[in-house]
Structure 1
């Protein structure tokens, strides 16, 4: 196999695994609750612990890749992710599972930005990079959808523990291939790591999500809820202040002056706020209302997975012809239409009549949008800051997903609880909560489509398109 293709395989394997672990737990949540005694709030934190740690440390992971070397940090991230997966699979308490999920998120934060950086420093800008980004985007999108299928198969035939343990052999295989195929590169400027910034932004995000989740039981006017929001505001304000004062900030705020970067990250955050919640709500609806077992619920995601691949491949082929903006906005508006369709669910809707069609629309729209998002987010950014740009895009994905899940879950639960208290049957109350979440998600993704229209018509990098060596060769390997 040519070396470039092997590099692409390594990057896609790692990205698939990292994104898979956001959604693979959804189908397994009922089994985990029964085995370990999770509360409803605790189940949400199984998802949120991963996404928040992932989001909070992604930028630090991207800068670490620039500083210490992309291949080195790729391997460090793999090792941490694999070790955390092993602990999660052997855990015997809810607390240990949540700790393992947070550690997985930290490993993913180191690993994920390195995957996109390795691609952008391996493939020259143009058709080759567009194809590579298309494959990377498709794998990332499929990871979210296949998570439901993989989780259902593993829970049905083995146990919920294998949603963690399955990562271990994949980590070993990916590490071996990376040692063979990926050359070491790193930035020449050697920026310092902004650990304080990473801690501030992570703490702020955790406090904000805690406030949203607390509002479900304590109420929006409670001291616990508002105290969490105040802490979040202070920490996030401290993060912004720190970034403007230190020499090597985690997020050089000047990068947002590049319009394609700002628009891509804003669009990604809005789309992800709906997409992450979708896997959660559809999984719960299929098992709790339609009566599917874990395996059937997982297999029910298969058509959606296929449309994500089709959308991504179409988008990667069309990107050089029509540009990023029409693909991104078209994909976003199609996704919004799919969510609006989901909002028409009733307790008597079948899978074919109520879930299949909107799931295909959402999957196709998301697939079309992913490739131009990846390209726009790194367009105009110097290669020495490729880790920063890729980390920023992934941060937007995870921050949007964590906040969206917390907000939409709170809205859905409040609606369902109110109807249950009024005497509604469980299926009707649950469906009403789910459709409220989907209706809000449709509005949010439509807003993302509007934001995407601000993308420059044909974004061009500010640097020369002639591929130059990146950084300096390490361990005798030529820089790519």
Structure 2
């Protein structure tokens, strides 16, 4: 838990962060931007990586899968370890690991070295993502300044994903796929030079033991669950490997829950997880990440296989969405203030995402429909990032500083699992429809039918989820309303 000297004093209704707070925030935002950039930039470079290292097309998935496994599987564990050992120490450790692993990946001369680098990058992300968020939420108390900081965080994440997609193509085309890794190194060096000056190491940490049983079951359970989800995207949901992995994951997560009920110092406080704002806030985050990542995937299929656009044009078509998403992060604090609290904002943002997604159901097979696609994804991108900021504010509200490590680890885990789940689930829905239409329709018509059907499913899920989450968050607000005084 940070000391009072490390926390910017709260002034009710004042959104000014202050000079030192702004510098500290900039360091944390650069770290988050680098992680988002790393995630998207490498996806664009995958084909060239396969050719450069003679990696078979079917094996390219491991470059993505190993990263997803380790980043999602270890997030909760490292969030708790940071609470025990110190967030500053863990943050710097994660940045060092990210820099070293990126250098290793950029210099890799074999598939084995590359995959080891991806595992280490996943571990670095599992450290940096929750710890950076915990440092942010403990630096800025609940209220306008935390909302502004989280809004800027959402904007930088969006910018990282968007710029990464563009930069990946530019670097790979002009230089080499290796720069998709190496570009992280100077960013990590800058953070390592500046962070020790701005982030104090004076923290009061309560003596505690690490819950070994909980650590093993939650980590292996999440690894099995995420592996099962990624396997479904490749092998199908009915494949034996998928079913076994998902079953093992569920069993281990149940075992973890039972262990946490009995140990004196649990890895994860079940009291925190039962808090309505934590529970339903993360539910909203999982919903928006899962469904919006699927929208981008489905619209990529639509643009290339129905309208016949090149990958370059496809990337540019999503540029408007990236811009609106960035501004959503900038304006999110004011929007939350207008609604009165982040819970209400989360409901309306999810509702807007459902409407924008539903509009895509009207798309046809002519290029005149490109305008509707750009407008709908732009509105959806705005709604998505507004949902992200609102869920982060909601899920970290009403908790003490020493519980922020767990709360922010949960938000990071929600993001990782959501991104991992969305594409396999909606891809399976679209593929089933495409296969059913293929015998009697052209390829373009079949793909359009599949993507339209999956879009409809996506919109209905977001709409139903928004209504459910909005109801329970409103119910929780009647019991205790942190938004009355903090904006949360």
Bucket of the pairwise TM-score, normalised by the shorter protein = 0.7 to 0.9
Alignment of 1:462-473 (within 5 A): none
Q: Kindly state the Cα deviation for residue 365 of structure 1 after the two structures are TM-superposed.
A: 0.3
Give the match for residue 7 of structure 2: none
Q: Kindly state the Cα deviation for residue 171 of structure 1 after the two structures are TM-superposed.
A: 0.9
Aligned counterpart for 1:409 among listed residues 427, 435, 450: 427
Secondary structure, aligned partner of 1:110: helix
For the 8 Å contact 1:26–1:283, the answer to whether it is kept is no
Computed over aligned residues only, the root mean square deviation of the Cα atoms, in angstroms, reads 3.0
For the 8 Å contact 1:13–1:174, the answer to whether it is kept is yes
Give the match for residue 3 of structure 2: none
Alignment of 1:234-383 (within 5 A): 234-283=251-300, 285-286=302-303, 290=307, 292-321=309-338, 322-349=340-367, 352-383=370-401
Secondary structure, aligned partner of 1:371: helix
Aligned counterpart for 2:403 among listed residues 385, 391, 400: 385
Aligned counterpart for 2:203 among listed residues 162, 168, 186: 186
For the 8 Å contact 1:416–1:432, the answer to whether it is kept is yes
The TM-score, its normalising length taken from structure 1, stands at 0.86
Q: Kindly state the Cα deviation for residue 121 of structure 1 after the two structures are TM-superposed.
A: 2.0
Secondary structure, aligned partner of 1:306: helix
For the 8 Å contact 2:77–2:219, the answer to whether it is kept is no
Give the match for residue 14 of structure 2: none
Question: Aligned partners of 1:98 and 1:435: how far apart in 2?
Answer: 36
For the 8 Å contact 2:357–2:376, the answer to whether it is kept is yes
The 1:281–1:220 alpha-carbon spacing in structure 2 relative to 1, beyond 3 Å, is closer
Alignment of 1:142-153 (within 5 A): 142-153=159-170
Question: Aligned partners of 2:114 and 2:124: how far apart in 1?
Answer: 15
The TM-score, its normalising length taken from structure 2, stands at 0.84
Q: Kindly state the Cα deviation for residue 426 of structure 1 after the two structures are TM-superposed.
A: 4.5
Q: Kindly state the Cα deviation for residue 45 of structure 1 after the two structures are TM-superposed.
A: 4.3
For the 8 Å contact 1:152–1:294, the answer to whether it is kept is no
Query: Which region of structure 1 is more displaced relative to structure 2, 355-364 or 437-446?
Result: 437-446
Q: Kindly state the Cα deviation for residue 88 of structure 1 after the two structures are TM-superposed.
A: 2.5
Secondary structure, aligned partner of 2:263: coil
Query: Which region of structure 1 is more displaced relative to structure 2, 218-227 or 112-121?
Result: 218-227
Q: How many residues align?
A: 463
Aligned counterpart for 1:396 among listed residues 398, 414, 419: 414
Give the match for residue 174 of structure 1: 191
Query: Which region of structure 1 is more displaced relative to structure 2, 386-395 or 335-344?
Result: 335-344
Query: Which region of structure 1 is more displaced relative to structure 2, 273-282 or 158-167?
Result: 273-282
Question: Aligned partners of 1:27 and 1:158: how far apart in 2?
Answer: 14
For the 8 Å contact 1:273–1:400, the answer to whether it is kept is yes
Mind listing any 5+ residue stretches in structure 1 that lack a counterpart? 466-480
Secondary structure, aligned partner of 1:191: coil
The 1:438–1:90 alpha-carbon spacing in structure 2 relative to 1, beyond 3 Å, is farther
Mind listing any 5+ residue stretches in structure 2 that lack a counterpart? 1-17
Deviations, residues 234-283 of structure 1 (Å, cap 9, x unaligned)? 22222222222323322211112321111111111111112333444444
Question: Aligned partners of 1:361 and 1:173: how far apart in 2?
Answer: 35
Question: Aligned partners of 1:285 and 1:98: how far apart in 2?
Answer: 31
Answering whether residue 116 of structure 2 is matched by residue 116 of structure 1, we say no
Answering whether residue 69 of structure 2 is matched by residue 55 of structure 1, we say no
Give the match for residue 8 of structure 2: none
The 1:71–1:113 alpha-carbon spacing in structure 2 relative to 1, beyond 3 Å, is same
The 1:253–1:314 alpha-carbon spacing in structure 2 relative to 1, beyond 3 Å, is same
Alignment of 1:192-211 (within 5 A): 192-194=209-211, 196-211=213-228
For the 8 Å contact 2:42–2:180, the answer to whether it is kept is yes
Q: Kindly state the Cα deviation for residue 219 of structure 1 after the two structures are TM-superposed.
A: 5.8
Q: Kindly state the Cα deviation for residue 373 of structure 1 after the two structures are TM-superposed.
A: 1.4
